[in-house]
Amino acid sequence: MSAKLSVGRDGLLDSCWCGLGLLACVSNDQVVRVNDLVEDNEADDNFILTLADVPGMEGRQDKLTTVSYQSSKRMLAAGTQGGRVIVWKHNGSRPLTGDAAQPERAWTPLPPVDIGTQPEALTWAGADSVLAVCSSAGLHVCPETIPRRVMRDAWGTVRLSERTGTPSLPFG
């Protein structure tokens, strides 16, 4: 099978699988292009997720540079040149294929997280919906829920969930 992908003017920067036959691509513009590569699908079921639909991103000229998908929680994350991480959560109960009318409506954007520097890589950690964001400034952790933090003598403990351990990290 071969497919011609739709990418932006600057070409493909990053991509990931985000469901059965769905390839999400970012290319230094304001959209995530989701290409439906299901072989027996004759309809053109490609769709886009745009920054203009993300709360707090309206009117901004930011550009998407990296993308990653978390399958068990059905969450697609993208990083921007302006130092933000945006997550879209799939809110449908149907399988993740592009076969429904307006499949982009099944993805709800969450408010962006500002990490202050352009993300270089995004990686999800297991089923806990913890997103590790690598940037030139270091590693940032973006959990789905707000972590609890305890400080003592310039060391801190961050608890990401009830099931995970509590590593001690230097703060200060």
DSSP 104: G
Give the span between the Cα atoms of 140 and 147, in whole angstroms: 13
Name the residue ranges covered by the structural domains of the chain.
Answer: 14-145
pLDDT of residue 83: 93
Residue 51: strand, helix, or coil: helix
Which architecture, in CATH terms, is 14-145? Answer: 7 Propeller (2.130)
| Number of C-beta neighbours around residue 75 at 10 A | 20
What is this structure's pTM? 0.76
pLDDT of residue 11: 65
Longest dimension (CA), the chain: 62
Question: Cα–Cα distances in Å, from 104 out to 9, 28, 56, 138?
Answer: 22, 20, 19, 32
Mean pLDDT per block of 10 residues along the chain (172 residues) reads: 61 85 91 82 76 88 94 92 93 58 83 91 80 89 59 49 47 43
The token pair that represents 92 in the structure block: 């449908």
pLDDT of residue 5: 65
Please give the single-letter amino acid code of residue 119.
Answer: P
